[in-house]
């Protein structure tokens, strides 16, 4: 029975290694599952699953192996997007509903498999394809008395089954981050170098030299390996960033708690960086941006966080700053380009959904800095970009 779980996870493209599987077998042999299926569920998940992104596939595999559940059909994201905006919601009188054929659940499943394989475009108000409204037994907001609802909340009370409904939360890699996930991602920035006096015992080299000397001990000392990563965090605050304040708070908290950086400096700006950045936005404690560029070395990893959404004049014009009492003699874009020119490693994290990145100022800034969404995938890609000099 247990080996079926291993192969089912593999079939769902969950990266499970033989080493992890043997660790699970050892844990079972030592009684950690306590003869409980629930305990085994959590034990196996803790050992086999490397990322929350695979929790959903794990739940599918577990239900398939231990509860004889069928693995669901692969419902394309494109179809789910079509169904997210129901159109032509149809209300039929009782006599019309009676005329619609009521299908057996197994027949419904087989027909849904066919539609998923054949359908290429959106449909609304029809009687056959996966769509919204109409009398099709598949989709959302339809009037069929024995259909399968796909996506979104119910309401009509006529669906006999809901596709892709899970007992556990469906974790995804494109959702916004919590502090733990951010810390794990930032940890990948670590770079080590040997610094200081040679007073650190190199155990591996000591053993190697001792063996070469026929057992006569020879202690080998080296310099201590220290993390050399220095990070500069520049964060947009206020205005259009207010909806994302909690998310940016998490990023700042995670970075502040990290012990893997040689140095971390964090400053604020509003909409765009001008001649000043702020150590304290609330009390207007500022620091000249020019001084920042002069005092910080080029090898700082620079992470700018903001929606990049503003009036074009704020980015492109002298005196364009939105604050009535603040005057910028130099356009904000010039300051951003100076940052990009000075530091070797820069990225911009944008909390706005990527579909909204067509705004002119967002497009302009994305040409200055590599821009990534502030999601699990986006942060991982940004970290990789920070490891490559631009």
375 in a structural domain = yes
Task: Print the domain residue range for 203.
Answer: 192-226
Nearest Cα residue to 162 out of 170, 151, 172: 151
The answer for residues whose C-beta is within 8 angstroms of residue 31's C-beta and 6 or more apart is none
Pair (209, 243) in one structural domain:
no
Residue 170 lies in a domain: no
Same domain, 113 and 127: yes
Q: What is the full per-residue pLDDT of the chain (390 aa) written as tens digits? A: 678 888 888 888 888 888 899 999 999 889 888 888 888 888 999 899 887 777 878 888 888 887 764 555 544 555 555 455 555 544 545 554 454 455 554 555 566 566 666 655 655 655 555 555 555 555 545 545 455 455 454 444 344 334 433 333 333 444 455 666 677 767 777 664 455 566 667 788 888 888 888 888 888 777 666 667 888 999 898 888 888 887 787 777 777 776 677 888 889 998 899 999 988 877 678 899 999 999 999 989 999 999 999 889 899 999 888 887 788 999 999 999 999 999 999 999 998 988 889 899 999 999 999 999 988 888 889 988 888 765
293/246 same-domain check = yes
- CB atoms near residue 316 (< 10 Å): 17
For 82-123, the DSSP string reads: HHTS--S-----HHHHHHSPPPPHHHHHHHHHHHHHH--S--
pTM, entire model: 0.53
Examine the domain organization and report whether 205 and 277 are in the same domain: no
C-alpha to C-alpha distance for 198 and 223, rounded to whole angstroms:
4
Last residue of a domain, one of 163, 182, 217: 163
Question: Domain for residue 179, yes or no?
Answer: no
297 and 150 together in one domain: no
pLDDT tens per residue, range 198-241 = 666 778 888 888 888 888 888 877 766 666 788 899 989 888 88
Indicate if 203 and 264 belong to the same structural domain.
no
273: domain CATH number is 3.40.50
Number of domains in the chain: 4
**Are 39 and 136 in the same domain?**
no
- What is the pLDDT at residue 261? 77
How does pLDDT run across 135-192, given as a tens digit for each residue? 555 554 554 545 545 545 444 434 433 443 333 333 344 445 566 667 776 777 766 4
């Amino acid at each position: 029975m247990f080996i079926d779980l291993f192969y089912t996870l593999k079939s769902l493209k969950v990266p499970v290694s033989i080493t992890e599987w043997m660790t699970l077998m050892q844990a079972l042999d030592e009684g950690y599952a306590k003869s409980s299926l629930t305990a085994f569920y959590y034990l196996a998940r803790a050992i086999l699953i490397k990322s929350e992104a695979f929790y959903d596939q794990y739940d599918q595999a577990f239900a398939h192996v231990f509860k004889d559940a069928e693995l669901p059909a692969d419902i394309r994201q494109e179809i789910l997007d079509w169904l997210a905006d129901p159109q032509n919601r149809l209300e039929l009188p009782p006599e019309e509903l009676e005329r619609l054929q009521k299908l057996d659940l197994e027949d419904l499943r087989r027909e849904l498999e066919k539609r998923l394989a054949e359908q290429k475009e959106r449909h609304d108000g029809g009687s056959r394809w996966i769509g919204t409204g109409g009398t099709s037994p598949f989709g959302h907001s339809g009037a069929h008395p024995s259909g399968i609802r796909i996506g979104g909340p119910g309401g009509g009370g006529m669906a006999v089954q809901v596709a892709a409904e899970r007992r556990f939360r469906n974790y995804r890699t494109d959702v916004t981050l919590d502090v733990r996930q951010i810390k794990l991602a930032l940890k990948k920035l670590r770079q080590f170098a040997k610094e200081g006096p040679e007073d650190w015992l190199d155990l591996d080299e000591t053993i190697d030299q001792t063996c070469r000397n026929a057992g006569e001990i020879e202690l080998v000392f080296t310099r201590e390996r220290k993390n050399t990563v220095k990070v500069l965090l520049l964060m947009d605050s206020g205005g259009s960033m207010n909806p994302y304040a909690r998310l940016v708070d998490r990023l700042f908290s995670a970075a502040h708690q990290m012990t893997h950086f040689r140095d971390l400096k964090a400053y604020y700006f509003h909409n765009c960086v001008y001649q000043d950045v702020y150590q304290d936005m609330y009390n207007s404690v500022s620091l000249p941006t020019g001084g920042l560029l002069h005092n910080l070395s080029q090898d700082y990893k620079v992470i700018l966080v903001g929606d990049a959404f503003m009036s074009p004049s704020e980015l492109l014009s002298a005196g364009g700053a939105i604050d009535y009492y603040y005057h910028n003699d130099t356009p904000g874009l010039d300051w951003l380009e100076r940052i990009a020119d000075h530091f070797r490693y820069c990225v911009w994290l944008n909390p706005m959904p990527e579909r909204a990145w067509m705004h002119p100022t967002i497009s302009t800034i994305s040409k200055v800095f590599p821009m990534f969404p502030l999601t699990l995938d986006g942060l991982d890609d940004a970290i990789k970009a920070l490891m490559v000099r631009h």
